[in-house]
Amino acid sequence: MIVRTLNGTLGTEREIDTPGWTSRRLLLKSENMGFSLHDTLIKPGAELPMCYRNHLEAVYCIEGEGEVETVADGVRHQIKAGTVYALDRHDEHILRARTQMRMVCVFNPPITGREVHGDDGAYPLVEDDEAGGNDDLRAG
Protein backbone atom coordinates (compact mmCIF):
# COMPACT_ATOMS: atom_id res chain seq x y z
CA MET A 1 0.00 0.00 0.00
CA ILE A 2 1.10 3.51 -0.75
CA VAL A 3 0.26 6.20 1.79
CA ARG A 4 0.95 9.84 0.97
CA THR A 5 -0.06 13.16 2.47
CA LEU A 6 -0.55 16.55 0.87
CA ASN A 7 1.86 18.05 3.41
CA GLY A 8 4.44 15.49 2.37
CA THR A 9 4.45 16.87 -1.18
CA LEU A 10 4.96 20.52 -0.22
CA GLY A 11 8.37 21.92 -1.03
CA THR A 12 9.35 18.76 -2.92
CA GLU A 13 9.58 17.97 -6.63
CA ARG A 14 5.95 16.89 -6.36
CA GLU A 15 4.83 20.49 -5.84
CA ILE A 16 4.86 22.42 -9.13
CA ASP A 17 4.13 26.14 -9.07
CA THR A 18 3.29 28.06 -12.25
CA PRO A 19 1.82 31.53 -12.79
CA GLY A 20 -1.71 30.10 -13.08
CA TRP A 21 -1.70 27.08 -10.80
CA THR A 22 0.11 25.08 -8.18
CA SER A 23 -0.14 21.32 -8.46
CA ARG A 24 0.67 18.91 -5.69
CA ARG A 25 1.20 15.47 -7.19
CA LEU A 26 0.09 12.78 -4.77
CA LEU A 27 0.49 9.88 -7.20
CA LEU A 28 2.58 9.85 -10.35
CA LYS A 29 3.54 7.32 -13.00
CA SER A 30 6.26 6.07 -10.69
CA GLU A 31 3.58 4.68 -8.36
CA ASN A 32 2.43 2.31 -11.15
CA MET A 33 -1.28 2.88 -10.56
CA GLY A 34 -2.16 3.52 -14.20
CA PHE A 35 -3.21 7.09 -13.38
CA SER A 36 -1.81 10.12 -11.62
CA LEU A 37 -3.63 12.02 -8.87
CA HIS A 38 -3.07 15.70 -8.22
CA ASP A 39 -4.38 18.25 -5.73
CA THR A 40 -4.22 21.44 -7.78
CA LEU A 41 -4.84 25.03 -6.75
CA ILE A 42 -5.94 27.30 -9.61
CA LYS A 43 -5.03 30.90 -8.84
CA PRO A 44 -7.83 33.50 -8.69
CA GLY A 45 -8.27 35.26 -12.02
CA ALA A 46 -6.34 32.61 -13.92
CA GLU A 47 -7.40 31.93 -17.50
CA LEU A 48 -5.83 28.70 -18.70
CA PRO A 49 -6.16 27.42 -22.28
CA MET A 50 -5.40 23.71 -22.28
CA CYS A 51 -5.77 20.66 -24.47
CA TYR A 52 -4.44 17.34 -23.27
CA ARG A 53 -4.03 15.59 -26.59
CA ASN A 54 -2.11 12.72 -25.04
CA HIS A 55 -4.06 12.26 -21.83
CA LEU A 56 -7.56 11.87 -20.45
CA GLU A 57 -8.19 14.07 -17.41
CA ALA A 58 -10.98 14.26 -14.84
CA VAL A 59 -11.09 17.38 -12.67
CA TYR A 60 -13.17 17.48 -9.49
CA CYS A 61 -13.65 20.86 -7.85
CA ILE A 62 -13.68 20.74 -4.06
CA GLU A 63 -13.29 24.47 -3.33
CA GLY A 64 -13.88 27.74 -5.18
CA GLU A 65 -15.75 28.88 -8.29
CA GLY A 66 -15.04 29.36 -11.95
CA GLU A 67 -15.93 28.02 -15.36
CA VAL A 68 -14.61 25.80 -18.09
CA GLU A 69 -15.28 26.61 -21.74
CA THR A 70 -15.19 24.02 -24.45
CA VAL A 71 -13.55 25.81 -27.36
CA ALA A 72 -15.28 23.75 -30.06
CA ASP A 73 -18.75 25.04 -29.17
CA GLY A 74 -18.05 28.04 -26.93
CA VAL A 75 -20.18 26.61 -24.11
CA ARG A 76 -19.18 27.84 -20.65
CA HIS A 77 -19.82 25.31 -17.91
CA GLN A 78 -20.00 26.77 -14.42
CA ILE A 79 -17.87 25.07 -11.78
CA LYS A 80 -18.20 25.10 -8.00
CA ALA A 81 -17.38 22.67 -5.23
CA GLY A 82 -18.91 19.33 -6.16
CA THR A 83 -18.60 19.76 -9.94
CA VAL A 84 -16.48 17.37 -11.98
CA TYR A 85 -15.52 17.73 -15.63
CA ALA A 86 -13.99 14.93 -17.63
CA LEU A 87 -12.05 15.64 -20.82
CA ASP A 88 -13.09 12.43 -22.52
CA ARG A 89 -12.46 13.76 -26.02
CA HIS A 90 -9.13 15.47 -25.40
CA ASP A 91 -11.24 18.60 -25.54
CA GLU A 92 -9.60 21.94 -26.16
CA HIS A 93 -10.78 24.03 -23.21
CA ILE A 94 -10.24 27.22 -21.23
CA LEU A 95 -10.41 27.08 -17.45
CA ARG A 96 -11.19 30.38 -15.70
CA ALA A 97 -11.01 30.81 -11.95
CA ARG A 98 -13.18 33.49 -10.34
CA THR A 99 -11.77 32.59 -6.94
CA GLN A 100 -8.98 30.26 -5.99
CA MET A 101 -10.18 26.82 -6.98
CA ARG A 102 -8.98 23.56 -5.49
CA MET A 103 -9.20 20.71 -7.96
CA VAL A 104 -8.55 16.99 -7.60
CA CYS A 105 -7.19 15.90 -10.98
CA VAL A 106 -6.73 12.40 -12.37
CA PHE A 107 -4.68 11.80 -15.52
CA ASN A 108 -4.68 8.67 -17.66
CA PRO A 109 -2.02 7.78 -18.68
CA PRO A 110 -0.30 9.04 -15.56
CA ILE A 111 2.04 11.94 -15.87
CA THR A 112 5.61 11.51 -14.72
CA GLY A 113 5.84 14.90 -13.02
CA ARG A 114 8.39 16.30 -15.46
CA GLU A 115 6.03 17.47 -18.21
CA VAL A 116 5.37 21.11 -18.89
CA HIS A 117 2.49 22.47 -20.94
CA GLY A 118 3.47 22.94 -24.57
CA ASP A 119 2.34 25.86 -26.68
CA ASP A 120 -0.66 23.74 -27.62
CA GLY A 121 -1.71 23.46 -23.95
CA ALA A 122 -0.90 19.76 -23.86
CA TYR A 123 1.53 17.67 -21.89
CA PRO A 124 3.84 15.54 -24.02
CA LEU A 125 3.90 11.82 -23.46
CA VAL A 126 7.06 11.03 -21.54
CA GLU A 127 8.36 7.52 -22.05
CA ASP A 128 10.28 5.67 -19.37
CA ASP A 129 13.56 5.85 -21.25
CA GLU A 130 13.31 9.63 -21.25
CA ALA A 131 12.95 9.74 -17.49
CA GLY A 132 15.71 11.02 -15.31
CA GLY A 133 16.88 14.54 -15.17
CA ASN A 134 15.81 16.03 -18.47
CA ASP A 135 15.64 19.66 -17.44
CA ASP A 136 13.76 20.57 -20.60
CA LEU A 137 10.79 18.78 -19.12
CA ARG A 138 10.95 20.42 -15.72
CA ALA A 139 8.24 22.74 -14.49
CA GLY A 140 7.91 26.14 -15.95
Which residue, 56 or 128, is less far from ligand 9YT as judged by CB?
A: 56
Q: Order of strands, edge to edge, in the sheet holding 93-97? A: 47-50, 93-97, 65-70, 75-80
Among 27, 41, 61, 103, binds ligand 9YT (CB under 6 A): 103
Q: Give the count of residues interacting with ligand 9YT (CB under 6 A).
A: 10
Alpha carbon of 115 to those of 8, 45, 79, 137: distances in Å? Answer: 21, 24, 26, 5
Question: Segment 42-81, which members bind ligand 9YT (CB under 6 A)?
Answer: 50, 57, 59
Which residue, 1 or 88, is less far from ligand 9YT as judged by CB?
A: 88
Question: Segment 109-138, which members bind ligand 9YT (CB under 6 A)?
Answer: none
Is 127 exposed, middle or buried, given 0-12, 13-18 or 19+ CB atoms closer than 10 A?
exposed
Alpha carbon of 61 to those of 9, 78, 105, 123: distances in Å? Answer: 20, 11, 9, 21
Among 9, 14, 21, 29, binds ligand 9YT (CB under 6 A): 21
Q: Is 26 in the site for ligand 9YT (CB under 6 A)?
A: no
- The β-bridge relationship of strands 21-27 and 36-42 is antiparallel
**Nearest residue to ligand 9YT, scored by beta-carbon proximity:** 23
> Which residues are at the interface with ligand 9YT (CB under 6 A)?
21, 23, 38, 40, 50, 57, 59, 95, 103, 105
